[in-house]
A and B are shown apart, each in its own frame.
Chain A
Amino acid sequence: GAVVSQHPSRVICKSGTSVKIECRSLDFQATTMFWYRQFPKQSLMLMATSNEGSKATYEQGVEKDKFLINHASLTLSTLTVTSAHPEDSSFYICSARVPGQGRGVTEAFFGQGTRLTVV
């Protein structure tokens, strides 16, 4: 299947600093990428949809100025957690849509996830 690489896998940062997480599609061009957040023992919650060359679409309740998303190329989307606080500690995972996939196959492949700890 298609490969989506997410980096870093783990990051610890100090409160008040910013952290950037990268999501790359390695063997296909992803016009659309998704960013999810997962609290311990909970489900994945969609934060935003990232479209190449345009502004991201954020889900209700997600702070746009806190979670900056940039999708500058067809293979890279970044999520920047600005002025991080301990409550931002979570598992962040991206997925990329593989264009042209029809029924019967998955349309989205996931990165390995990033565990963010803000201290």
Chain B
Amino acid sequence: AQKITQTQPGMFVQEKEAVTLDCTYDTSDPSYGLFWYKQPSSGEMIFLIYQGSYDQQNATEGRYSLNFQKARKSANLVISASQLGDSAMYFCAMREISSGTYKYIFGTGTRLKVLA
């Protein structure tokens, strides 16, 4: 069964520093997509970055990059040059593409606090 694990319930980072949020996953589907979402206190889910299981290169979107290690089944999010506005909950999610169901499974989240 597919599973997403985020082992860091909370993280602190100094403003302008980089931070890595961990995510490991488990799936038997050879084709899958990995996503990171940001959820500020207002509640909406904001898409940050996507990595496909067959993508050869790590995904990058501005200050966000995904450290994809397929053999280790990890998809860590790296935020560079942290800003105060980055303080939020961060969720890692996965979709098994071969299943065709478009169902997303979410991890338990990591609460990031950026310190001034």
Chain A residues with a Cβ under 8 A of chain B:
1, 32, 34, 42-46, 49, 91, 93, 95, 97, 103-113, 115
Contact = CB atoms under 8 A, between A and B. Distances in A.
Contact of A34 (B33, B59, B91, B104): B104
Interface residues of B, number: 23
A103 B55 contact: yes
B25 interface: no
Contacts of A113: 43-45
Interface of B: 33, 35, 37, 42-45, 47, 50, 52, 55, 59, 91, 95, 101-109
A45 to B, nearest CB: 8
A104 B50 contact: yes
Chain B: interface secondary structure? loop
Contacts of A97: 102
Given A43-B91, A43-B108, A44-B91, A107 B102 contact: yes
Given A43-B91, A113-B43, A34 B109 contact: no
Nearest to B45: A110
A77 to B, nearest CB: 14
A106 B106 contact: no
A105 B103 CA distance: 16
A43 B52 contact: no
